[in-house]
Each structure stands twice: as C-alpha cells, then as structure tokens.
C-alpha cells in the first residue's frame, strides 16, 4: 500500500512539473509576441538565451517519468498518463523552440517599421497560437477529449492567417524583401506552435480513451 501511495505522490509531482513547464512556455510565447510587435531585439535575445530553462523541464520530466515506468511498472491509465506527460513536455519544448526561431528571425528586422496590416494579422496569429496551447493544457488538466477536439477547429484560423501571409502580402518595394521573408518565416513558426497544441490534444484523447487519434 505504501508503495502505491509513494507512486501516486511521484506521479502528482510529475504532473505538477508539466504544469510548471506549460506556464513557462506560455510566458515565453507572450514575451515573443511582445518582442515581435515592438521589434524589440533585446527582448528577442533574452528569449534565445533563456531556452535552456524549457529544455531543463524536458530533461527532468523524462528522467522522472522513466524512473516511474521502470520502478513501479504502472498499468492502464497510470501508464498512459506517464507516457503522455513525457510526450506533452516534448511538444511544449518544440513550441518554445519556435519562439527561439522567431527571435532569431527578428535579427534582420532591425530598422524596419511594421505596417498596420502586419501588426494586426501577426498579433491575431500569436493570440490564436497561444489560445491553442492554453486550450491544450486545459484539456490535459481537465482530462477532457472534447476540449482537445476543439483545438483542431481553432487551428484552422491559424492556417488561414498563415496562407494570407504567404499569398496576399504585397510589399511596396524591393527594399522590403528582407522584412517580407522574416514575416513569412514568423508566420510559419507560429503555425507550428499551433500544430504542437493540436498534437497535445491528440495525446490527451489517447490518455483518456486509450484510442489513437487520426
């Protein structure tokens, strides 16, 4: 009995560590949003330099998860929960990596002024990508596959805005080519952030139902 109690205490701590990682990831996303909006190179550099914090969460979660799997031999829902926590940590880490990618893309944007069209549409894309990550984490916390299913529909909005950046952005002069490239790159990175949120939703559905999502 004590062994099972210890097991669930360790599982609870693993769960809490993932939530701490999720909060850290969402903070990075918000900081990246502000850095891009203001073309703030100092903030962008801080995001790049702080990437080790997120990586550290993955290392700890994987290490503790493997220990639980090896020592306790959990079954059914407990087994799925441990595996999914480890997988979700990797999705969050990749979402944060895209914040680093956006910050690196900004290195060649210094001196450019973002047009109102870019600001508005990019900020909307940031908001939706963040909303998807938040929704994915909430679906995990609530163990709610219906909430997870909603993420795919939300992702359609991110995909639409990304297509607009790819197809309808009309630069006024060749002098803006570098800016166009960086904006399109940022939109692509945000699309990937949203995709990682959708992937988390699929993991939640598997955790709760034991069935793989398409």
Flag whether pLDDT at 173 surpasses 50: no
Structural domain includes residue 170: yes
Residue 110 pLDDT more than 80?
no
- When the pLDDT of each residue in the chain is averaged and rounded to a whole number, the result is 90
Residue 170 has pLDDT above 80, yes or no: no
Q: What is the mean pLDDT of residues 193-212?
A: 92
Decide if 129 is inside a domain: yes
Which CATH number characterizes residue 133's domain? Answer: 1.20.58.220
For residues 179-196, average pLDDT: 92
Spatial CA neighbour of 182 closest among 44, 62, 81, 56 = 44
- 214 within a domain of the structure (yes/no): no
Residue 197 has pLDDT above 70, yes or no: yes
Cβ neighbours for 16, distance < 8 A, ≥ 6 positions apart: none
Residue 25 lies in a domain: yes
Percent of residues, the chain, with pLDDT higher than 70: 93
On whether residue 100 sits in a domain, the answer given is: yes
Is residue 178 predicted with pLDDT exceeding 90?
Answer: no
Domain count for the chain: 1
CB atoms within 10 A of CB 64: 18
Whether 18 maps to a domain, the answer reads yes
pTM of the model: 0.91
State the pLDDT at residue 172: 46
Query: How many angstroms separate the first and last alpha carbons of the chain?
Result: 39
Structural domain including 126 reads: 2-209
Where residue 174 falls among pLDDT bands split at 50, 70, 90?
very low
pLDDT of residue 141: 95
Q: Is residue 101 part of a domain?
A: yes
């Amino acid at each position: 009995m004590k062994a099972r109690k210890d097991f669930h205490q360790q599982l609870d701590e693993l769960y809490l560590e993932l939530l701490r990682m999720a909060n850290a990831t969402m903070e990075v996303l918000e900081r990246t949003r502000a850095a891009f909006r203001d073309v703030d190179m100092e903030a962008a550099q801080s995001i790049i330099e702080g990437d080790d914090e997120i990586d550290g969460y993955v290392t700890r979660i994987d290490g503790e998860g493997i220990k639980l799997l090896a020592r306790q031999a959990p079954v059914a829902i407990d087994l799925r929960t441990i595996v999914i926590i480890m997988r979700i940590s990797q999705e969050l880490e990749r979402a944060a990596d895209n914040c680093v990618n956006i910050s690196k893309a900004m290195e060649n944007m210094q001196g450019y002024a973002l047009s109102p069209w870019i600001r508005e549409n990019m900020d909307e894309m940031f908001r939706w990508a963040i909303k998807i990550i938040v929704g994915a984490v909430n679906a995990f916390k609530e163990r709610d596959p219906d909430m997870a299913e909603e993420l795919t529909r939300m992702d359609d909005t991110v995909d639409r805005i990304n297509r607009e950046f790819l197809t309808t952005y009309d630069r006024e002069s060749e002098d803006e080519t570098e800016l166009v490239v960086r904006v399109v790159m940022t939109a692509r990175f945000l699309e990937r952030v949203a995709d990682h949120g959708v992937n988390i939703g699929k993991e939640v559905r598997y955790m709760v139902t034991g069935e793989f999502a398409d």
